[in-house]
């Protein structure tokens, strides 16, 4: 009997780890030692696809027998990507910009198998509409949620009711890993039945 294929998630994100676990596949985590491209003026689809591939390729080169899944997510508004805020002041500024508006959350996915020469890429986009936010609500939110490791300075799954009026598209994409697209890319590779 053939051993189960080895799957590695090339991400430090605990949210991606939790989401991928929902698909029921055993996997391990190896964080890629790469510098992500985060120019806010880059087309967001290009940026997240590039970063997902960068992470997956780095890990796959070091684990050539494994299947490696890379992912990257950003928030996009007014022609600019809102990546992870550098500090609380930048997180506050991002929430002010998102207040009362609809933005898009893009995630890029890259699946690699170095030894087999397998390369597949996918992506997802979701829209999120924020309530108009007062300074008091922004302060309350920043007091409740650690936002510095989250694109756009927020996490929909953590007290999102304070911020979010509505959303369309994949909810798991907004968290950081679109499960529908992930399931599809893994199924096409024969990793999911």
Q: Which residues are catalytic?
A: 72
CA distance 146 to 29: 22
Distances from the Cα of 160 to the Cα of 92, 137, 167, angstroms: 15, 11, 11
Taking the C-alpha atoms of residue 113 and residue 104, their distance in angstroms, rounded to an integer, is 30
């Amino acid at each position: 009997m053939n051993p189960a294929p080895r799957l590695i998630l090339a991400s430090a994100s605990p949210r991606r780890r939790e989401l991928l676990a929902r698909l029921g596949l055993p996997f391990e985590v190896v964080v890629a030692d790469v510098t992500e491209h985060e120019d806010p003026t880059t087309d967001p689809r290009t940026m997240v696809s590039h970063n997902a591939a960068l992470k997956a390729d780095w890990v796959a080169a070091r684990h050539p027998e494994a299947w490696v899944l890379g992912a990257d997510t950003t928030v996009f508004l007014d022609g600019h990507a809102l990546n992870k805020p550098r500090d609380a002041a930048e997180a506050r500024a991002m929430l002010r910009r998102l207040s009362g508006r609809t933005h898009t959350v893009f995630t890029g996915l890259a699946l690699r198998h170095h030894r087999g020469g397998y390369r597949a890429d996918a992506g997802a986009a979701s829209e999120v509409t924020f309530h108009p936010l007062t300074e008091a609500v922004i302060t309350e939110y920043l007091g409740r949620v650690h936002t510095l490791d989250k694109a756009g300075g927020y996490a929909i799954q953590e007290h999102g009711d304070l911020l979010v009026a509505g959303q369309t598209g994949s909810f798991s994409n907004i968290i950081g890993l679109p499960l529908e697209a992930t399931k599809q890319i893994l199924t096409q590779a024969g990793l999911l039945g």
